[in-house]
Structure 1
Amino acid sequence: MSGTSYDGIDVASADIDRDGDTLTLRPLGAFTLPHPDRVRDLVTSVLPPRSTTVAAITELDTALGQAFADAAKRAIAEHADGQADLIVSHGQTVFHWVEDGRALGTLQLGQPAWIAEATNTPVLSDLRSADIAAGGQGAPLVPIFDALLLPRTDEPRAALNLGGIANLTVIPPDGPILGYDVGPANALIDAASLALLGDPFDRDGAVAAAGTVDADLLRLLLSEPYYNRPAPKSTGKELFNDAYLTAHISTSPAAGRPADVIATVTELAAVTIARESDQHDVSALIASGGGTHNSTLMARLRHHLDEGRTLSTIDEFGIGVDEKEAYAFAVLGYLSWHGIPGVIESVTGADAASVLGRLTMTPTTPRPPAEAFTPPSELRIV
């Protein structure tokens, strides 16, 4: 997969099996393959608020498909002894269409035919559309992985993904599991760093640490209506993009102080995540994603969490912080292959849970097994 920050292709290889109602996932290896400059430039050129053409979309769909194919070939060679049963390709989200809080469509590019042709392996792609067709947000999809990996305890816990957008999965002691997009994590930090300093991101949060939070700018950013919308909800760079940042800092004295702007948008991420965590009374946050490498963001998040709430990372469960989403989509692919829905309706708001994705077959693709497979209740990393 390639995330909201589109800095590279995250690849994870797994051997997944089942023992009764427990899935076992054996990590075989993972890596991030940086996007070629041409691909990254093409993604940048089509993302909102920029306008684009069908020709540019077609070119990007092909270029991404070929890049994903190269990544899959490398993973199969290095991790799977030259053969895989299934490849799951999330693709690159270029538009997530939401109006008045309702998701109406979504588009992920990266033509799966290139992957299937290069690897002679069936490819599951387009994992979000089925949920949207069933009335859901199509996002986030990782909460089913979180719910399987993090069993319920006596106190609410939450899994946090710090990608371009911050996603939260709340697992209460009982009752429905919640999951939704909180708001920007790295999206506005990266946009500010690139626009004001020419750097694609704030490495380790060093610039933010050197800056001072501008209270007026933070207050303006916190007035965004999205934060007060009830879940289920989802968002992306259709809202939180470079034009959004420019519009909000254009009248702020902080605009001439890059470090202060970056400190402020870092504080925005920490404040909004902590506020949502406190609202659900979570006792522990288990974080993953690129934002965990931003020590300033993590420190500010710890600062804002109510006393007694802990912040740790997914590493303690046997999955690296940069690998979790790719492994999660491997699990979603395993469920789809066996005809099991990969959605929690209380998370996306769908009328019914859907079997996700569509298959691109190869001449030698075996058909999914015919035996009945009941939904699992637990995921164990071995």
Structure 2
Amino acid sequence: MMSGTSLDGVDAVLVDLRGRPCLLGAGFLRYPKSLKAILLALHEISGDEVHRAALAGIELSRLYAKAVQRLLEKHQVPAQTVSAIGCHGQTVRHRPGAGYSSQLGNPAWLAERTGIAVVADFRSRDIAAGGQGAPLVPAFHAAVFRDSRHHRVIANLGGIANITDLPRQGPVTGFDTGPGNVLLDAWTRERFGRDFDRSGAIAARGRPVASLLKALLADPYFRRSPPKSTGRDHFSFDWLHRFSVGKHKAEDVQATLAELTACSIAKAIAKFCAGAEEVYLCGGGVRNHDLVRRITRELAGMKIASTDRLGIHPDWVEAMAFAWLAQRALKRETGNLPEVTGAKGPRVLGAIYAA
């Protein structure tokens, strides 16, 4: 199960991992508006956070249990045949420099409600070993998408965008490139009263503001070398408002934010994925046709496609990755890539809550 930084809901997948990962079923459960408002508020420093976070974790686990039960009923799979639920939880703080990354959810509650073992808290061990705790999905990308004939890059267009470099041979690398959908969604909510910019229609009407884009791209994060990771903590709405965005037309700001995502991804690929021939997109941003068009333009000369071409629908890649990581935890196999996260070495990731 995966709840990403877009804060839209939970992706639940049923995966057979007895050979190459095989998707048996999938579903999405949207967050109620009341829960989404609580989660957005918890990203800001305020009073009584511990109590409110605990209650939100229980509410999330109720929703997770509902998603699991719906998925199993739809595909007529008995709960006792499922080895485990890999539950990422909902990130509300990601501060590896301070030694932690906090994902909300109550895995004990989820195990109790579903009768299925739960593997959770995937990021803490990597951070304890000196790593960023993110991104963790590149290990899965390497396992299922790497090809000795082609130099590929997997670009995940989530709330925060990240890339995985899969050369024909040699070490796999990956890192967060910066904002994916997070600022696009925040600006759409603020100025247009919608949860997201469907197909990128608002951005497509606007014209990027060159001076604003230059200022946004001057943020020190974009100049840092990997390993690195980021989140809403850094690329927040408050961060955006430092650039006096209110003086520009709303559509033009949206177009500029789309350019920010596309340019930061393209610059990262050009700088750190030398020789890459193919870029495969996954995550919710694949449905933003304007954003995909901008990325394709920035990466002119490269083959651009979605991970559908590689056999996995772009909506379900991350959720499948956490099923795979959960299996590795059960088998006491390592799940991180130190070359990606900067950890001192490979580590078994996740805490197990027995059924």
What TM-score do you get using the length of structure 2 for normalisation?
0.95
SS in 2 for 1:352: coil
Corresponding residue for 1:296?
290
C-alpha distance 218-143 of structure 1, shift in aligned 2 (>3 A) = same
* Letter aligned with residue 7 of structure 1: D
Partner Cα separation in structure 1 for residue 230 and residue 282 of structure 2: 19
Corresponding residue for 1:87?
85
SS in 2 for 1:216: helix
* Letter aligned with residue 75 of structure 2: H
Counterpart contact for 2:161–2:178, Cα < 8 Å:
yes
Q: Choose from 250, 268, 277 the match for 2:260.
A: 268
Confirm whether residue 157 of structure 1 aligns to residue 141 of structure 2. Answer: no
Corresponding residue for 2:348?
355
Q: Equivalent residues in 2 for 1:19-34 (5 A)?
A: 23-34=19-30
Q: Choose from 22, 25, 37 the match for 2:33.
A: 37
For residues 39-77 of structure 1, the C-alpha deviation after alignment (integer angstroms, 9 at most, x for no partner) is 212101101365652211111111111111111122222
Partner Cα separation in structure 2 for residue 240 and residue 345 of structure 1: 25
Corresponding residue for 2:15?
14
Cα deviation for residue 233 of structure 1 reads 0.2
Partner Cα separation in structure 2 for residue 141 and residue 66 of structure 1: 25
Cα deviation for residue 37 of structure 1 reads 2.1
Q: Equivalent residues in 2 for 1:111-260 (5 A)?
A: 111-250=106-245, 253-254=247-248, 257-260=249-252
* Letter aligned with residue 137 of structure 1: Q
Partner Cα separation in structure 2 for residue 315 and residue 322 of structure 1: 9
Corresponding residue for 1:344?
337
Corresponding residue for 1:378?
none
Using the TM superposition, name which of 38-47 and 219-228 deviates more: 38-47
SS in 1 for 2:99: strand
Corresponding residue for 2:322?
329
Counterpart contact for 2:124–2:133, Cα < 8 Å:
yes
SS in 2 for 1:278: helix
Partner Cα separation in structure 1 for residue 232 and residue 48 of structure 2: 15
- Uncovered stretches (5+) of structure 1, i.e. residues with no partner: 18-22, 363-382
* Letter aligned with residue 120 of structure 2: S
Q: Which 4+ stretches in 1 moved above 4 angstroms?
A: 49-52
SS in 2 for 1:179: strand
Cα deviation for residue 154 of structure 1 reads 4.8
SS in 2 for 1:248: coil
Counterpart contact for 1:48–1:95, Cα < 8 Å:
no
SS in 1 for 2:344: coil
Partner Cα separation in structure 2 for residue 89 and residue 212 of structure 1: 40
For residues 87-139 of structure 1, the C-alpha deviation after alignment (integer angstroms, 9 at most, x for no partner) is 1100000100143xxx6211101101221111111100001101111111100
- Uncovered stretches (5+) of structure 2, i.e. residues with no partner: none
Corresponding residue for 2:74?
78
SS in 2 for 1:192: helix
SS in 2 for 1:24: coil
Cα deviation for residue 208 of structure 1 reads 0.5
What TM-score do you get using the length of structure 1 for normalisation?
0.89
**Relative to total residues, which structure has the larger helix share, 1 or 2?**
2
- Identity percentage of aligned residues: 39
Using the TM superposition, name which of 221-230 and 172-181 deviates more: 172-181
Counterpart contact for 1:65–1:113, Cα < 8 Å:
no
Cα deviation for residue 153 of structure 1 reads 3.2
Confirm whether residue 69 of structure 1 aligns to residue 61 of structure 2. Answer: no
